[in-house]
Amino acid sequence: MPATKKSNPELGPTVFVLFGATGDLAKRLVLPAFYRLAQEGLLPKQWLLVGNGRGDIAHEDFRKHVRDALTEFAERPAKKEWKAFAERVFFAGGGFTGDSPGSLLDDLAKAREALGGDPQLVHYLAVPPVAFEELTRALGQHGLARNARVVYEKPFGTSPESFRRLDRVVHSVLDEQQVYRIDHFLGKEATQDLHTLRFANGLFDAMWNRRHVESVQIDVPEKLGITDRSVFYDATGAVLTCSSRTCSRWPPRWRWSRRPAWARWTCRPPGRR
């Protein structure tokens, strides 16, 4: 891990609220990325991270969870850097709904008081997509949407109809400039490199089309099983999860007219445990 750089002076005090803070997505991707941002000096000078989940977890226990996640999916933090990072990390339990906000409102009040003034709120929804509507409404009901920024992880709806329904809910609470929809896989080097290989290479640009390619097959093997992601897969499905990261990089339809395409997704390849 490179040495910590100076924080971004242009960003004001900010409270980051991570919904689904103890879930699989947060553990594997969001928390390691957030720690790296802190070490690279890309966060505001004054910031706090408040994790949220259904369980009642002490702040110290959540910090241990974060450190374990960094050790497993990034690299073990150095003692000095970790101490400076951990003292800014807190947890608000009891879930968060319109009827029951848990301890989040109280913990955010403490965070705002600690930073002073009126800090920016950034809500990161690292939760199953079926929870987006309820969480969005709850943000509005409890006054946490004003001037806030809200990050939605993929998929934002599972069909045109569900997208429009969710979009209406989002815009009943937030302005478009407050909303950020993200697919973390589109930032993966393998996806970006495939796009560059196809369109920036003169050899492949001439050959990689329907006249020279019989079919397209995409394999997405994973080492881990479904385990605690079963709710996500029941609601979303592997095909949508896979296609969301590949179809957005697909060439125009006319280039591949009448050429079949297959996608295979395996959560744990045969013979592995």
Residues of the chain with pLDDT under 50: 1-4, 248-249, 254, 269-270
For residue 132, how far is the Cα from the chain centroid? Answer: 13
Asked if residues 166 and 132 have their Cβ atoms less than 8 Å apart, the reply is yes
| pLDDT for the residue numbered 3 | 39
Q: Residue 15 — φ and ψ, nearest 5°?
A: -110, 120
Angle at the Cα of 11 from the Cα atoms of 9 and 12, rounded to 5 degrees: 105
Angle of the 59-73 helix axis to the 79-86 helix axis, nearest 10:
140
Order of strands, edge to edge, in the sheet holding 47-52?
Answer: 89-92, 47-52, 14-19, 120-125, 149-153, 179-182
| pLDDT for the residue numbered 33 | 94
Q: For 15-59, write each residue's pLDDT tens digit.
A: 999 999 999 889 999 999 999 999 999 999 999 999 999 999 999
| pLDDT for the residue numbered 2 | 39
Q: For 179-204, write each residue's pLDDT tens digit.
A: 999 876 655 666 667 767 777 777 77
Q: Which residues on adjacent β-strands are paired with residue 261?
A: 216
Query: How many whole angstroms separate alpha carbon 56 and alpha carbon 38?
Result: 26
Tokens of 37: 């941002």
Tokens of 228: 């605690």
